[in-house]
Amino acid sequence: MLPKWFNTWNRDNPTNIYGPAILVGAAGVAVTVAAFIVVVGQPFKTDSLQTGPRGTGMSVPEFVSEVRDADPTIAGYLRRDDITEEDIAGVSAEALQNVPPALGNISDEDYARLVVAMRSWTGIPDLMEDPDNYQTQIAYTMVGMVQSINEDWIGHVQSNAVVGVNCYTCHRGQAVPSEIWFRLGPVNEAAGGWAAVQNRVTVQSQYTSLPSDALESYLLDYGRIGVHDLEAHVAAYPSEEGYPTWQDTERTFSLMNYVSNSLGVNCVFCHNSRAFYDPEQVTPQWATEMLGITMVQEINNDWLVPLEGLYPEERLGPVFADAPKAACKTCHKGYQQPLQGLNVIDEWPELALTDPES
């Protein structure tokens, strides 16, 4: 029993006990949730990639869970240590005679190991077996191209770390790499002139109505990437050579859309949103990308287009019977770095340099 004075005081001074109880309960739940997040981790945590000076908003937020998702094709990459002596012994004496000129004085054992790897990387089980086979002849050129990329384009393929490229970068275990492209020409039979190259959904336009000839114009024909003048009144005329018209602008947007999809990024990965067209305020990634565009131009014109005569008819383009060509997505496959930055040349010095002995 409580004293009479206590009961009288409670009657004359009523107090709401439910509010404090709810507050204490809510605080307890919050502490429990906070402790759970600390122990288990925040599933929706974000991280930011700084792409320019701090304080300017030049960063790209990304969900950590997405960043850590591994490229599923990495699991199919055959490493040097995975190749057994039995695998090496399975390379025939005939195949060992078909050494690409670019490999110089490579030993039989190292070449046999490389052949095993190349067959796995390209999905061609008899690669290098027959010197007259078109795939073997093309492989001769591809070895030289890989060496050239790794040695001459370090600023692009090793901009952040030693990564490089080899056959698997593009092929991913398939004889025909995904994301290759061919010339299309006019795609809109209902229109002529400029309208004939757009307003049709194609792979090259990334399934948009944008022009379908952007890859051909910029990654094959060395076209000048640019957009229309931003001034309301300009002295130049569209007919003047080198002046960017609205057609050039749409074609540029088509290329930029392709690049964004190829790397899985958006515009501010390379551009400053406050000064989009100012080349002095771009991010470091802009320079890496522009170097990559120049690299792809060389790959297409110096290495891939000259192979046209080696391909069988079914491997050529459907419109112009042209050789397959490369672009950003051929290597990147939707990731900022091919194979998410996997170093593919450290184990293969013969593919990293034209002269691995130097």
Written as one letter, the residue type at 72 is P
3-class secondary structure, 158: coil
Q: Measured between alpha carbons, how far is 43 from 57 in angstroms, rounded to an integer?
A: 24
Highest mean pLDDT among 25-29, 262-266, 327-331: 327-331
DSSP run (H or E) holding 62? strand 59-63
44-73 mean pLDDT: 66
Q: Measured between alpha carbons, how far is 350 from 163 in angstroms, rounded to an integer?
A: 15
Position 358 confidence tier, pLDDT thresholds 50, 70, 90? very low
Count CB-CB contacts under 10 A for residue 289.
22
Q: Residue 193 corresponds to which tokens in the numbers above?
A: 């002139």
Question: Which domains, ranges and CATH numbers included, belong to the chain?
Answer: 73-178+335-358 (1.10.468.10), 180-332 (1.10.468.10)
Please, how many CA atoms are within 13 Å of residue 348, restricted to the half-sphere of its CB?
28
Provide the percentage of residues in the chain whose pLDDT is more than 90.
Answer: 59
Please tell me which residue, 236 or 78, carries the higher pLDDT value. Answer: 78
Please tell me which residue, 302 or 68, carries the higher pLDDT value. Answer: 302
Predicted local confidence at residue 44, as pLDDT: 62
CB 274 within 8 A of CB 57: yes
Q: Measured between alpha carbons, how far is 185 from 187 in angstroms, rounded to an integer?
A: 6
Beta bridge partners of 95: none
Predicted local confidence at residue 318, as pLDDT: 95
Mean pLDDT of the chain: 88
Position 45 confidence tier, pLDDT thresholds 50, 70, 90? low
284-297 mean pLDDT: 94
DSSP run (H or E) holding 59? strand 59-63
pLDDT above 80 (res 64): no
34-46 mean pLDDT: 64
Q: What is the 3-state secondary structure (H, E, C) of 77-132?
A: CCCHHHCCHHHHHCCCHHHHHCCCHHHCCCCHHHHHHHHHHHHHHHCCCCCCCCCC
110-122 mean pLDDT: 98
pTM attached to this predicted model: 0.81
Position 161 confidence tier, pLDDT thresholds 50, 70, 90? confident
pLDDT above 90 (res 28): no
For residue 278, count CB atoms less than 10 angstroms from its CB and return exposed for 0-12, middle for 13-18, buried for 19 or more. Answer: exposed
Predicted local confidence at residue 57, as pLDDT: 62
Lowest mean pLDDT among 142-151, 196-205, 235-244, 263-272: 235-244
Predicted local confidence at residue 356, as pLDDT: 47
Predicted local confidence at residue 68, as pLDDT: 57
Instruction: List pLDDT tens digits, range 125-146.
Output: 999 999 999 999 999 999 999 9
Instruction: List pLDDT tens digits, range 172-231.
Output: 999 999 999 999 999 998 888 888 999 999 999 999 999 999 999 999 999 999 887 777
Position 37 confidence tier, pLDDT thresholds 50, 70, 90? low
